């Protein structure tokens, strides 16, 4: 009997201790897509082979929830690619970044010292060219066009409550039509929508799977898919391409962790450049090149007034939640 | 008596900390000001989700239970061969996460699915949710009803024959009568399970929103814990009803004396029909799981149909061995500690009859009512900053509590069938309580203990909802990778993870099956009460 | 030598009086049956004697000492159940040896003694069998052997023969009497069956609703029933016996 008891206690202690050590690692929570995270991991391994740096992919909503909940106890040291409105909301938990130079950025991009813009991403309609040709459909040009019966169940849009991409479309519509009409619009649009996806890349994912024909999604993903061989086309609405931004920062009091400043510096300058030039061509950096084929240049920007206003976001998403039944 | 009371108190404290405390913390999140509750239930979104949930859940439950009944009838009342292997095959869907079922259905029946392409239809929406829900829930209903067959007094069939009842009357008066409780039990269990699941609706529901998905969006997207909890309260209702039913519905089955073996009569026609039905189900399951293999090894299902190791290479290059270790470690610990805790709790509640243990019984079972996502959230809120946070311990604990009800009930039922006089023998012979448990009661319930271990293990391997908030980079289990890959539409990779989980679960179930078979050759028939 | 005396024992359950201030003695080496219908309190009495149930008032005095608060293990009483309560995962021999081994802390001695007892009960051929391979009568013998192995002063039987068929009952009744003679153990036999009580016992104690109606030898009870209840109890039994003889022989008595 005593032997059994001892074994059980042993197991219990193992359980407690396991997963406890290794606190000299740097943890990055990244909301970027898998591809970009892969690139980040590879380059980190090359640049900092002796350091233990963990890049953990986590959806924007989850990251925000964790920060709000765990506050300064959070395991992550660096937050990367979190929607700016969340960053603004949670800025008290972030460190002061004034020590880090913003020279790499274009003027006017940086507005806070608690977080720096990581990317600006535009959105457009990405349509399945093959499908459109086969079914002889007209290419939509305005929000109104999307209501056409021809597109029944062929459209997908991210849910504004869970995705910054979705919210950008929503806010743009509100700015153009006014709140009341915008809500009525989306209620109508719902019958053409196959799904309001949780993640921002949901619609383009569905498009790739052949489940829909019109994705309201990120331009960068549309370009990538075209480059991968999918017969898609990027279509900008007459009212312009909505856009949103994500940001990067350091959790308060972690700046002094060993090597952290170094790593952050490198991400902010070197990887930043690489990332923008190869994945996110919308310009935020000085002398930013564009290595992405099929990425439409000189996009007309849509009216995104209030995109960083978190209070507005809360109100609007609340209304979406109760009225559009997203 | 003394040792048992010490045990009860210890268990009570444990349950207070692991069940009551987090739940209360969760409930405290509710913001009662501003008529928020009224606003919630009158909002269009809520009403729609509630209606949707009730709609699909009811239909799926009825189909699931009927299907399960058909299958258990086939395996108990026909002359079909290889019953035990067929039983294993039928329960295969239980071995992968529900989200995998959703993905599998999309593989086959999505707009561009393998089968949809041939037949030009798709199942996205309520149809998909119903199908997916039936697939992962019918095995559980099947197990409950199948078990019920073991407790039918087969002498009644002779009696019925003597009384001149025809087959249909016999079926109604004897079989259905004894199966009443299992049928109703499975109905409630399946209803609760489907009502609170968000894996399937998220994958195949499209814009057909159900309550759990609404909760997920409120919490993940809007960080609205208050609203999320309020929705969570509604999710508790079917489980509460389930619980009340289980407590008050008297079980009229008996296990007096020897269970006479049922003699299956010859009936070729019946056998043919049931065989066809059974194999149809098994083929469907095989095709579903096969779609994973297809997606795992095809480079890009839409663009080309080339065989490729890309997905496997990608997965293994991402450090999958760490995740596999995490999942195995968690699942094994959950199995061991979960079984110990639920076994001893069942011992106390089944063999002592007083009001206090009824409370323990209630507390243990009520975890069945708490959806995984609510449980995980409540743990995040309650244990944030404590020493168990961010360790494996909290993941192990949350899984134990999430799954404890069923193994506990298994043990409880087994305990009730063990002769109640052993303790008296022990007392009068000066044998300690633990010794009699170790030497007699545990050996008598060996088979049940194995089932409990396997239940905890398998469910820990496949769970996503409860651990979604509690993991960190060091402890992340395999199952959460599926979410990541699915979000990035890396279906091949998601399929591979599903397959890995499936393989481990099959191994464990296989091992338990073989041990049970060896044991059956030395059968113990337990004495009646 | 053992003496057992029960003085003014009372027990109430849920406001119902189950044992109403009863008193009686048990003589050394005697076979005492406690007879009565279900609900008369005999099972509660057994539980209190054995020590797994508390009493509200009164005393139990064994060998001159008050054992009210004494641990069941220390009362040196054995118990045999109607459903045998054998350990299904142990052989016949191990079933008998189990408790003895713990007591003696000597496996060899325990085994020897167990073998002896099992031989005396004619169970040598079944030593390595498991309970589910035995008949009801054989199982009951093992149960009795298990108790005997610990040398109790008093053995209590809780409806121990009720589950057996007529033939086995007869055989076991005979064996019980033999065991009693051999081991000189005091036996208290709880039953609702008049036949068993009257044929086995030195004395019978008839209970009704928590009270002792009469306690005396079967002969005395039969000839001098103390009240109407006992009278009808006995007469019914007698009538039954006569009727069954009439049936068997065809003679009208």
pLDDT higher than 90, residue B518: no
**CB A195 to CB B207 under 8 A?**
yes
Interface mutation vs chain B, best among A60, A65, A221, most B CBs within 10 Å? A65
Q: Does residue C81 fall inside a structural domain?
A: no
Q: Measure CB to CB from residue B336 to each of A11, A59, A194 and give the nearest one.
A: A11
Statement to judge: residues C65 and C22 lie in one domain? yes
Among residues C103, C136, C151, which one ends one of the domains?
C151
- Residues C53, C135 within the same domain: no
Per residue in A268-309, pLDDT (tens digit) is 999 999 999 999 988 899 988 888 888 887 889 999 999 888
Residue B69 belongs to a domain with what CATH number? Answer: 1.10.3720.10
Is residue C228 included in any domain, yes or no?
yes
Q: Which residues of C touch B (CB under 8 A)?
A: 50-52, 71-75, 77-79, 81, 83-90, 98-99, 102-103, 130-132, 146, 150
| The pLDDT of residue B528 | 36
Confirm if A18 and A261 have CB atoms less than 8 A apart.
Answer: no
* All residues at 6 or more sequence positions from B249 whose CB lies less than 8 Å from its CB, including other chains: B181, B184
On whether both B277 and B355 belong to a single domain, the answer is no
pLDDT given at position A17: 64
pTM: 0.85
B63 domain-assigned: yes
Asked whether the beta carbons of residue B111 and residue A19 sit closer than 8 angstroms, the reply is: no
pLDDT at B61 over 50: yes
Say if residue C44 is in the same domain as residue C112: no
> To the nearest whole angstrom, how far is the Cα of B59 from the nearest Cα of chain A?
22
Tokens 């030009």 correspond to what residue? B120
For residues B18 and B57, membership in a common domain is answered with: no
Last residue of a domain, one of C151, C174, C192: C151
Taking CA–CA distances from B222, the nearest residue in chain A reads: A161
Nearest C-alpha neighbor of B449 from the set B336, B362, B331: B336
Chains A and B touch (3+ CB pairs under 8 A): yes
Counted domains in chain B: 2
Given pLDDT bands bounded at 50, 70 and 90, which one contains residue A2? low
Q: Are residues B123 and B213 in the same domain?
A: yes
First and final C-alpha spacing in chain C = 45
Does some domain include residue C82? Answer: no
Res. B221: pLDDT tops 70: no
Among the residue ranges B189-203, B499-513, C89-103, C231-245, the one predicted with the least confidence is: C231-245
d(CA B29, CA B225): 6
Instruction: Say whether both B24 and B87 belong to one domain.
Output: no
- What residue numbers bound the domain in which C137 lies? 89-151
Q: Kindly state whether residue C143 falls inside one of the protein's structural domains.
A: yes
Structural domains present in chain A:
2-119+245-278 (3.40.190.10), 121-243+297-324 (3.40.190.10)
Domain membership flag for residue C94: yes
Q: Are residues B203 and B220 in the same domain?
A: yes
Name the residue in chain B with its Cα closest to that of C102.
B431
Count: domains in chain C: 2
Q: How far is CA B155 from the centre of its chain?
A: 33
What are the start-end ranges of the E strands in B115-181? none
pLDDT tens digits for A178-214?
999 999 999 999 989 988 887 888 899 889 888 899 9
Identify all chain A residues contacting B217, using CB atoms and an 8 Å cutoff: 159, 161-162, 198, 321, 326
pLDDT tens digits for range C105-155: 888 999 999 999 999 888 889 999 999 889 888 898 899 999 999 989 899
- With an 8 Å Cβ cutoff, are A205 and B489 in contact? yes
Number of neighbours of residue C199 by Cβ within 10 angstroms = 13
C217 within 8 A of C211, measured Cβ to Cβ: no
In a domain, C97, yes or no: yes
> Whole-angstrom Cα distance, residue C238 to residue C244?
10
> Which strand ranges, in their side-by-side order, compose the sheet holding C211-216?
C77-81, C154-158, C186-191, C31-35, C203-208, C211-216
Tell which B residues from 367 to 386 touch A, by Cβ distance under 8 Å: 380-381, 384-385
Residues B299 and B340 in one domain: no
Which of the 8 DSSP states describes residue A259? T
Q: Quick one: B184 and B200 in the same domain?
A: yes
The larger pLDDT score, comparing residue A106 to residue A16, is at A106
Contact yes or no for A151/A163 (Cβ under 8 A)? no
Q: How many whole angstroms separate alpha carbon C110 and alpha carbon A239?
A: 96
**Are residue C64 and residue C19 in the same domain, yes or no?**
yes
Is B434 touching A (CB cutoff 8 A)?
A: yes
Neighbours of chain C (3+ CB pairs under 8 A): B
Classify residue B406: in a domain, yes or no.
yes
The verdict on C19 and C141 lying in the same domain is no
Q: Which domain holds residue B196?
A: 42-248+269-308
A73/B385 touch (CB, cutoff 8 Å), yes or no: yes
Looking up residue C41, the CATH number of its domain turns out to be: 3.40.50.300
The residue of chain A nearest to residue B207, with distances taken between CA atoms, is: A195
Provide the 8-state DSSP code for C111. Answer: H
Distance of CA B487 to the CA centre of its chain: 25
Q: Are residues C120 and C26 in the same domain?
A: no
B18 and B60 together in one domain: no
**Do C110 and C209 belong together in one domain?**
no
3-state secondary structure string across C46-87: HHHHHCCCCCCEEEEEECCEECCCCCHHHCCEEEEECCCCCC
pLDDT digits (tens, 9 = 90+) for B102-135: 888 888 887 777 787 777 777 888 999 999 999 9
Greater model confidence, C123 or B150: C123
Instruction: Tell me, yes or no, whether B304 and B331 share the same domain.
Output: no
Pair (B117, B23) in one structural domain: no
Contacts of B among chains (3+ CB pairs under 8 A): A, C
* Cα(A318)–Cα(B8) distance, integer angstroms: 46
**Residue where a domain stops, chosen among B258, B293, B308:** B308
| B321 shares its domain with B242 | no
Confirm or reject contact between B256 and chain C (CB < 8 A): no
Residue A274 to chain B, least CA–CA distance (Å): 21
Q: CB distance from B34 to chain C under 8 Å?
A: no
Give yes or no: residues C158 and C238 share one domain: yes
**Residue at a domain's end among C102, C136, C151:** C151
Among candidate residues B257, B286, B308, the one where a domain is terminated: B308
Report how far residue A268's alpha carbon sits from residue A58's, in angstroms, rounded to the nearest whole number: 20
- Rounded (to 5) percent helix, strand, coil in chain C: 45, 25, 30
Mark whether C245 and C158 lie in a shared domain.
Answer: yes
Distance CA C167, CA B171 (A): 37
**Contact residues, chain B, for C99 at CB < 8 Å:** 425, 429-431
- Please tell me what DSSP assigns to residue A136: T
Hey, are the CB atoms on C130 and B524 less than 8 Å from each other?
yes
Which residues neighbour B339 within 8 Å (Cβ) at sequence distance 6 or greater? Answer: B407, B449, B452, B453, B456
A26 backbone dihedrals φ, ψ, rounded to 5°: -105, 130
Taking the Cβ of residue B453 and every Cβ of chain A, the question of whether any pair is shorter than 8 Å is answered with no
| Within a domain: B505 | no
Same domain, yes or no: B54 and B17: no
Residues C69 and C159 in one domain: yes
**pLDDT at residue number B258:** 46
In a domain, C66, yes or no: yes
Provide the ipTM.
Answer: 0.83
C50 in the same domain as C116: no
Q: Do residues C121 and C63 share a domain?
A: no
Q: How far apart are CA A185 and CA A147, in angstroms?
A: 9
């Amino acid at each position: 009997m005593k032997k059994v008891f001892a074994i059980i206690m042993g197991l219990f202690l193992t359980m407690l201790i396991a997963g406890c050590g290794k606190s000299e690692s740097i943890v990055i929570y990244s909301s970027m897509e898998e591809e970009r995270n892969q690139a980040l991991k590879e380059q980190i391994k090359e640049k900092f082979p002796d350091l233990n740096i963990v890049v953990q992919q986590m959806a924007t909503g989850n990251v925000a929830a964790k920060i709000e909940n765990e506050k300064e106890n959070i395991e992550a040291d660096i937050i990367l690619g979190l929607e700016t409105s969340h960053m603004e909301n949670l800025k008290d938990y972030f460190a002061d970044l004034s020590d880090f130079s913003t020279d790499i950025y274009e003027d006017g991009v940086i507005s806070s010292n608690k977080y720096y813009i990581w990317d600006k991403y535009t959105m457009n309609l990405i349509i399945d060219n093959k499908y459109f040709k086969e079914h002889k459909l007209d290419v939509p040009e305005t929000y109104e066009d999307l209501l056409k019966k021809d597109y029944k169940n062929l459209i997908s849009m991210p849910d504004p409550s869970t995705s910054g991409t979705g919210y950008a479309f929503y806010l743009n519509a509100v700015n153009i039509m006014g709140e009341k009409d915008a809500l009525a619009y989306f209620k109508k649009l719902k019958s053409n929508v196959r799904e309001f996806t949780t993640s921002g890349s949901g619609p383009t994912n569905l498009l790739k799977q052949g489940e829909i024909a019109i994705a309201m999604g990120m331009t960068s993903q549309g370009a990538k898919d075209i480059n991968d061989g999918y017969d898609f086309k990027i279509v900008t609405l007459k009212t312009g391409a909505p856009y949103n931004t994500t940001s990067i920062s350091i959790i308060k009091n972690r700046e002094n962790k060993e090597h952290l400043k170094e790593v952050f510096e490198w991400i902010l300058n070197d990887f930043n450049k690489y990332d923008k030039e190869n994945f996110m061509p919308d310009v935020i950096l000085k002398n930013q090149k564009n290595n992405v084929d099929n990425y439409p240049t000189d996009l007309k920007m849509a009216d995104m007034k209030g995109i960083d206003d978190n209070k507005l976001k809360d109100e609007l998403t609340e209304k979406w939640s109760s009225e559009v039944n997203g | 008596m003394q040792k048992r009371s010490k045990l009860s108190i210890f268990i009570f404290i444990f349950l207070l900390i692991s069940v009551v405390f987090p739940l209360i913390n969760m409930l405290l999140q509710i913001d009662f000001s501003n008529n928020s509750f009224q606003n919630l239930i009158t909002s269009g979104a809520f009403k729609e989700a509630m209606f949707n949930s009730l709609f699909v859940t009811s239909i799926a439950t009825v189909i699931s239970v009927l299907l399960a009944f058909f299958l258990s009838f086939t395996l108990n009342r026909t002359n079909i061969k290889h019953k035990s292997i067929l039983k294993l095959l039928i329960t295969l869907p239980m071995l992968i996460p529900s989200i995998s079922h959703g993905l599998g259905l999309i593989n086959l029946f999505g707009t561009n699915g393998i089968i949809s392409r041939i037949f030009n239809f798709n199942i996205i929406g309520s149809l998909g949710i119903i199908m997916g829900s039936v697939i992962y829930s019918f095995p559980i209903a099947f197990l409950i009803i199948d078990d019920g067959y073991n407790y039918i007094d087969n002498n009644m069939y002779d009696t019925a024959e003597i009384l001149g009842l025809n087959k249909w009357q016999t079926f109604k008066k004897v079989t259905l009568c004894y199966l009443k409780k299992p049928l109703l039990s499975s109905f409630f269990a399946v209803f609760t399970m489907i009502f609170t699941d968000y894996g399937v609706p998220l994958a195949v529901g499209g814009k057909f929103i159900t309550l759990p998905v609404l909760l997920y969006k409120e919490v993940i997207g809007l960080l609205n814990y208050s609203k999320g909890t309020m929705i969570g309260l509604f999710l508790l209702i079917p489980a509460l009803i389930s619980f009340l039913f289980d407590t008050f519905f008297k079980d009229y089955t008996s296990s007096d004396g020897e269970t006479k073996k049922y003699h299956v009569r010859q009936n070729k026609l019946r056998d043919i029909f049931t065989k066809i039905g059974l194999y149809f189900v098994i083929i469907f399951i095989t095709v579903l799981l096969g779609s994973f293999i297809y997606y795992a090894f095809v480079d890009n299902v839409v663009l080309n149909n080339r065989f490729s190791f890309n997905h496997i290479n990608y997965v293994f290059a991402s450090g999958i061995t760490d995740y596999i270790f995490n999942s195995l470690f968690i699942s094994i610990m959950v199995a061991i500690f979960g079984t110990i805790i639920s076994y001893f709790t069942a011992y106390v509640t089944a063999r002592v009859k007083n009001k206090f243990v009824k409370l323990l019984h209630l507390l243990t079972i009520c975890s069945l009512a708490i959806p995984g996502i609510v449980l995980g959230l409540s743990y995040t809120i309650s244990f944030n900053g404590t020493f168990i946070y961010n360790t494996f311990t909290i993941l192990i604990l949350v899984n134990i509590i999430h799954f404890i009800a069923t193994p506990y009930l298994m043990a409880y039922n087994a305990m009730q069938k063990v002769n109640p006089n052993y303790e008296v023998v022990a007392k009068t012979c000066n044998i300690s309580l633990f010794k009699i448990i170790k030497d007699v009661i545990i050996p008598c319930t060996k088979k049940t203990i194995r089932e409990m271990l396997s239940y905890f293990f398998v469910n820990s391997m496949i769970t996503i909802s409860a651990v979604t908030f509690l993991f960190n980079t060091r402890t992340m289990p395999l199952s959460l990778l599926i979410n990541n890959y699915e979000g990035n539409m890396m279906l091949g990779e998601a399929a591979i993870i599903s397959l890995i989980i499936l393989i481990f679960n099959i191994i464990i179930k296989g091992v338990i099956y073989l041990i049970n078979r060896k044991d059956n050759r030395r059968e113990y028939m337990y004495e009646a009460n | 030598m053992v003496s057992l005396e029960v003085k003014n024992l009372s027990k109430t359950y849920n406001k119902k009086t189950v044992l109403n201030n009863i008193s009686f003695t048990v003589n050394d080496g005697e076979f005492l049956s406690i007879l009565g219908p279900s609900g008369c309190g005999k099972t509660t009495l057994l539980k209190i004697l054995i020590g797994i149930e508390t009493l509200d008032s009164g005393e139990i005095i064994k060998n001159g000492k008050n054992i009210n608060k004494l641990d069941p293990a220390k009362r040196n009483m054995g118990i045999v159940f109607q459903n045998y309560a054998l350990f299904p995962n142990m052989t016949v021999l191990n079933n008998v040896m189990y408790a003895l081994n713990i007591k003696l802390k000597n496996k060899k001695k325990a085994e020897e003694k167990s073998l002896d007892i099992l031989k005396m009960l004619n169970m040598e051929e079944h030593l390595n069998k498991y309970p589910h391979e035995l008949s009801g009568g054989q199982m009951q013998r093992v149960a009795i052997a298990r108790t005997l192995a610990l040398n109790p002063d008093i053995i209590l039987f809780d409806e121990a023969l009720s589950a057996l068929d007529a033939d086995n009952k007869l055989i076991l009744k005979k064996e019980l009497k033999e065991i009693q003679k051999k081991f000189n153990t005091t036996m208290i036999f709880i039953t609702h069956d008049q036949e068993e009580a009257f044929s086995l016992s030195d004395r019978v104690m008839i209970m009704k609703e928590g009270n002792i109606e009469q306690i005396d030898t079967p002969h005395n009870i039969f000839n001098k029933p103390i009240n109407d209840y006992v009278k009808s109890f006995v007469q019914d039994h007698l009538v039954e016996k006569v009727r069954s003889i009439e049936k068997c022989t065809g003679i009208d008595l």
